[in-house]
A and B are shown apart, each in its own frame.
Chain A
Amino acid sequence: MALLEVRDLSIEFETRKGNLKALERLSFTLNEGETLGIVGESGCGKSITSLALMGLLAPNARVSAGALRFEGKDLLAMNEEARSEIRGAEMSMIFQDPMTSLNPSFTVGFQLEEMLKAHPREEADRSPAGRRKRLVELMEQVGIPDPAQRLTCYPHELSGGMSQRVMIAMAVASRPKLLIADEPTTALDVTIQAQILELLRDLQRRYKMALILITHDLGVVSETAARTMVMYAGQAVEEGPTREVIASPRHPYTAGLLQCLPALHAKEAPKTRLPSIAGMVPDLLARPSGCQFHPRCSRAQEPCWQALPDWRVEGSRGERCHFPLTQAGGGQR
């Protein structure tokens, strides 16, 4: 049984300008200890997907799904109390903006301790002295130097990299089976990013934790996630083993994204024009007909504006395209 099963997950928002279909029929499964990278451009639905899994969407959201199961349990059928128990203990999340999720008026130590009290995992978690020890351990584990002193700090007294580590400590304190990390390194420098990614890989190995890693950086998924899902305008366009998706993308959008990234050790001559994807992402309140990518796609033909392609699965890979790229046909940069 998969740890997480998502089938045909859709999200709509009621807005003043009308009904906004932000997520359409998203499907994937995740096993124990596995990492799934979700990539896509701003507004494509990465954060709302994770908020839907956590049950933390805004009140104007309407969620529907063919199946949304965690360890076989139907998340949508649960009452709020049961959901919130799972949320703290079994699945947890690192939010995109660390400053909004740490409470500015309490010390880091206080906030971490509340977490342990609510979801004790070890005998030590039940006594103040035991918790004290665990807090220091947790802070050490996420690589915070001078942990005992740092526990007395307020969030604003920490650097960006430090607060991100505190967030991670908070999220893994209860040893969740699933951790959702929403752009955990976007605001950080590359040297700190490398430290945080290493930390996540380490925690994952140690606790067999499954990880959903949300990012817009293909380099980050490439180094961290065994599988990758590419999203565009609220839909998955492609999913599969990361290496394969990158080496032979099937959806023209994935291929385009890979091509327009300059490379660190490039074959292409410096200072030449980069391939780019013309146009921009659609307005979700005025979606194009058919395939959402067709207005920007150089391969688009009649079927592409006639009908939305089905999600097609072949072996370990899935894609949503009428005319997927073939192995020989390119995508190779």
Chain B
Amino acid sequence: MSAGQPAAGSTILEIRGLKKHYPVRGWLGQKGLVKALDGVTFAVQAGRTLAVVGESGCGKSTLARVLLGVEPATEGDVRVDGRARSELTREERLRSVQMIFQDPYGSLNPRKRAWQLIAEPLAVSGKFSRAELRSRAVALMDKVGLRAEYADRYPHMFSGGQRQRLGIARALMLHPRVLICDEPVSALDVSIQAQVLNLLLDLQQELGLSYVFISHDLSVVRHLADEVAVLYLGRVAERGPCDRIFNDPRHPYTRVLLASTPKVAGALDSGQAGAAANDARFRAVKGELPSPLNPPPGCVFHRRCPIAGERCSREVPAERQVAGRVVACHEA
């Protein structure tokens, strides 16, 4: 299983200036361009977790699809282990990046048994016997905490948390190095959510997996991530080590997100929140995510920004290094 494992800490997945634009027709028939991703740069280290956070529509799932390779980028390349993905063979591509989905039910064929679903990615190669496939699937079920007796059940006979385990087992079938997790626990109840997060942590330890963990839940991200990229309307607002971003956020949007997250008062959470998270200027910020069809000029956040200056409405801020992370803000 650990055959091709790179040394921990080396870059496994890298994107630079990644763009994904969708041509669309507006409601009056005029042509437009949705810039779902507009110049995103980051790197994922082997055995580590990069979390991608941001509001609905900021481009998280688009990013997942481009990283997975099911959609081509409009501009910029995805590099895996130092090589452009276009240079990889089909098999190498499949083994490099796999994905688990938010809705484990919708993404599993209801007419297949659990072991068949898990073995499916391997079965397509046609190289393995039915018995071999089944035994590999059962071994993986054990790894993700599903009983072997459940191998012949259909997806609807599993609970939400169990279905998510099924999805994880299936994604692991080809021994990928990187697992993209698009909101993997959002559909689960809190008591089940912790079980699945623990499984992801265990698997990372054991297999040296890297995760791109997409989530809107900052508490979960804080617990799981090594690095964080905060996305706003297809661009990175701020990215860097998890500790720095949470303890000392520099981009006003990061500060808004932290201040808006409801905290369980008295359960140790509140009070210790950094001054940044409690700054009233960043609470209950007005307005909504602007339309990606018609983004504001200058900094895309400036109309909602509590500290925007005159320059922000004219000039797109470039990414720059500030206090050990990268920020795209004139005022940071």
Interface residues of A (CB under 8 A from B): 41-42, 143, 145, 159-162, 189-195, 197-198, 216-220, 222-223, 242-243, 246-247, 256-258, 260-268, 270-278, 280-281, 332-333
The answer to whether A258 and B191 touch (CB under 8 A), given A191-B55, A264-B246, is no
- Tell me the chain B residues, 285-301 only, with Cβ under 8 Å from chain A: 285-289
Inter-chain contact A277/B219, CB cutoff 8 Å: no
Give the A-B contact count at a CB cut-off of 8 A.
159
- Whether A219 and B262, one on each chain, are in contact in the complex, defined by CB atoms closer than 8 angstroms, is yes
Checking A243, A265, A274 against B266 with a beta-carbon cut-off of 8 angstroms, the contacting residue is A243
**Residue from A189, A257, A264 in contact with B263 in the complex, judged by beta carbons closer than 8 Å:** A264
Interface centre among A191, A246, A261, A273 (most CB of B within 10 A): A191
Quick check: A264 and B224 within 8 Å, CB to CB?
A: no
Contact of B286 among A159, A195, A262, A267 (CB under 8 A): A195
Q: Which residues of B contact A260 (CB under 8 A)?
A: 190-191, 193-194
B163-195 contact mask (Cβ, 8 Å, vs A): 1 or 0: 000000000000000000000000001111111
Contacts of A161 in B (CB 8 A): 288
In this complex, the interface size class of chain B, counting residues with CB under 8 Å from chain A, is 35 or more
Which residues of A have CB within 8 Å of B286?
143, 195
Q: B143 on the interface (CB 8 Å rule)?
A: no
Q: Which of A191, A223, A263, A270 touches B267 (beta carbons < 8 Å)?
A: A263
In the complex the two chains form, is A276's CB within 8 Å of B266's CB? Answer: no
Binds A, one of B64-72, B93-101, B120-128, B271-279: B271-279
- Residues of chain A within 8 A (CB-CB) of B49 are 271
A247 to B224, CA, bound (A): 25
The answer for the CA separation of A247 and B273 in the assembled complex, in Å, is 17
Contacts of A280 in B (CB 8 A): 159, 161, 191-192
On whether the beta carbons of B265 and A264 are closer than 8 Å, the reply is: no
A159-B288 contact given A266-B223, A276-B191, A333-B268, CB 8 Å threshold:
yes
Chain B residues lying within 8 Å of A193, measured Cβ to Cβ, are 260, 262
Cβ of A190 to closest chain B Cβ, rounded Å: 4
Instruction: Give A180 to B277 CA distance when docked, in angstroms.
Output: 30
Give complex CA distance A258, B194 in Å. Answer: 11
The verdict on A247 contacting B266 (CB below 8 Å), with A194-B260, A195-B284, A261-B219 known, is yes
Q: How far is the CA of A217 from the CA of B218 in the complex (A)?
A: 13
* Contact between B201 and A271, CB atoms less than 8 A apart: yes
CB contacts (< 8 Å) of A271 on chain B: these are 49, 201, 223-224, 226
Complex Cα spacing A271 to B220, Å: 10
List residues of chain B with CB within 8 A of the CB of A220. Answer: 262
Q: What residues of chain A lie closer than 8 Å to B135, measured between beta carbons? A: none
Partner of B264, one of A160, A261, A273: A261
Other than A160-B56, A191-B256, give 19 A-B pairs with Cβ distance below 8 A: A41-B189, A145-B287, A190-B257, A191-B304, A194-B260, A194-B283, A194-B285, A198-B284, A219-B261, A222-B264, A222-B267, A260-B191, A264-B263, A265-B246, A265-B263, A270-B222, A273-B201, A280-B191, A333-B268
Q: Are B269 and A263 in contact (CB under 8 A)?
A: yes
